[in-house]
Chains A and B, each alone.
Chain A
Amino acid sequence: NAGVTQTPKFRILKIGQSMTLQCAQDMNHNYMYWYRQDPGMGLKLIYYSVGAGITDKGEVPNGYNVSRSTTEDFPLRLELAAPSQTSVYFCASDSGTGELFFGEGSRLTVL
C-alpha cells in the first residue's frame, strides 16, 4: 500500500491563480482531511469528509473548496490564491479508529 499520496510536493503560485492539490489513499478509508500548517504552528483543519459524496467545513475553509467523488480521492481546490495561503498542506485519512495517516505534504508558496 502506498498509503496517502499528495501531489504536487512543491508549488509556487502567483496571486490570483488557482490550483488543485491532489490527495489519494489506497487504504479504503472513509474519513479524509485537509490541514494546513504555517511555520512553527499546529495544524488547522480546512475541510473533511466522512465518505464519498460528503464534505464539511473545518476551522479555516475560506478560500478553499473540496470534492469527494470517490473513496480514494479528496482534492483541495484553491481559487484566487493569496499570500495568506502560503503554507504546508497535509492530507490525512482515517479508517474510523481515529488514527490519522498523513501524506508527506504539499508546500505551497503564493507570491
Chain B
Amino acid sequence: GQQVMQIPQYQHVQEGEDFTTYCNSSTTLSNIQWYKQRPGGHPVFLIQLVKSGEVKKQKRLTFQFGEAKKNSSLHITATQTTDVGTYFCVDLSNDYKLSFGAGTTVTVRA
C-alpha cells in the first residue's frame, strides 16, 4: 500500500497554544480519515475527507485535504488537556486494509 508519513511523531504543546500535525504521501490519496486515541484507550473516528481542498471543522479542530490530495493536516487551536492523545491519519486507498501509522502523540503542559 501507499506510504503515508505523519509528522511530527511527538508534539508537546503549552495549554492554550495552537498546533498542526501533517500527513504526507508521495502519491495521490483516495480518501483520508483521522482518528484520536486517548492514552490507554481505543481509536475513535474523528472525520473523513474526500474532496481535493476540503476543509472541515469540529469546534477547535480544523481538518484539511490538500489540493493535490497528497497531504492532509489537523490544526488544533487553544489546546486543552482534553486534546492529549495520539492522532492518526488513515489512507483509504487500499480498500479494506486500512493502515495506521505511528501517529502524532500530543502532550499538553498546563
Q: Which residues of A contact B (CB under 8 A)?
A: 31, 33, 35, 40-45, 48, 50, 56, 58-59, 90, 97-105
Question: With A98-B48, A105-B42 known to touch, is A59 a contact of B99 (CB < 8 Å)?
Answer: yes
Q: Give every chain A residue within 8 A of B92 (Cβ-Cβ).
A: 98
Question: With A42-B101, A45-B98, A98-B31 known to touch, is A104 a contact of B48 (CB < 8 Å)?
Answer: no
Question: Complex Cα distance A92/B30, Å?
Answer: 21
Q: Give every chain B residue within 8 A of A101 (Cβ-Cβ).
A: 45
The residue that A41 contacts in the complex, of B44, B45, B102, with Cβ under 8 A, is B102
- Give the number of chain B interface residues (Cβ < 8 Å): 20
Distance of B63 from chain A, by nearest CB (Å)? 14
Q: Is the CB of A42 within 8 A of B45?
A: no
Question: Complex Cα distance A56/B88, Å?
Answer: 24
B97 within 8 A of A: yes
By secondary structure, the B interface counts as loop
Q: Give every chain A residue within 8 A of B97 (Cβ-Cβ).
A: 45, 48, 58-59
Q: Give every chain B residue within 8 A of A31 (Cβ-Cβ).
A: 96
Q: Is the CB of B102 within 8 A of A90?
A: no
Q: Is the CB of A45 within 8 A of B42?
A: no
Q: Is the CB of A100 within 8 A of B98?
A: yes
Q: Give every chain B residue within 8 A of A48 (Cβ-Cβ).
A: 96-97
Q: Is the CB of A35 within 8 A of B100?
A: yes
Q: Is the CB of A102 within 8 A of B42?
A: yes
The residue that B43 contacts in the complex, of A41, A43, A58, A98, with Cβ under 8 A, is A43
Question: Complex Cα distance A42/B9, Å?
Answer: 11
